[in-house]
């Protein structure tokens, strides 16, 4: 019988400290804008569960979606990314 080979998986980046920080900034930004999860989902043309999964860290946000979230919250996308980048500098 051949030996059992254990394959180590790379950690899912959705659960990294960096991604948790990005999610925290998105939640803070949404709340500061006075927008509920449901209202944000409506603005994005998505189901409410879509935003919930993002905010729970169960769904990744790509660059295009980050842009759309910023616009839906009436926030400058460049400024939002700048906040995220600045925050991540402290984690590195």
Residue 56's alpha-carbon distances to 1, 7, 8, 19, 52, in angstroms, are 43, 28, 25, 11, 6
* Predicted local distance difference test score (pLDDT) of residue 87: 92
Contact 69, 40 (CB under 8 A): yes
Q: Confirm whether pTM is higher than 0.75.
A: yes
The domains located in the chain, with CATH, are 32-89 (1.10.260.40)
**Residue 82: which H helix or E strand, with range?**
helix 77-89
Q: Does the pLDDT of residue 3 top 80, yes or no?
A: no
What average pLDDT does the segment 1-21 reach? Answer: 73
Angle between helices 77-89 and 17-32 (to 10 degrees): 140
């Amino acid at each position: 019988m051949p030996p059992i080979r254990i394959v180590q998986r790379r950690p899912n980046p959705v659960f990294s400290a960096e991604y948790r920080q990005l999610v925290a900034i998105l939640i803070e930004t949404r709340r500061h804008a006075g927008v509920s999860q449901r209202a944000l989902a409506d603005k994005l043309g998505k189901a409410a569960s879509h935003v919930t999964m993002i905010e729970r860290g169960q769904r990744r946000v790509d660059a295009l979606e980050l842009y759309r979230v910023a616009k839906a919250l009436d926030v400058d996308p460049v400024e939002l990314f700048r906040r995220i980048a600045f925050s991540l500098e402290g984690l590195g």
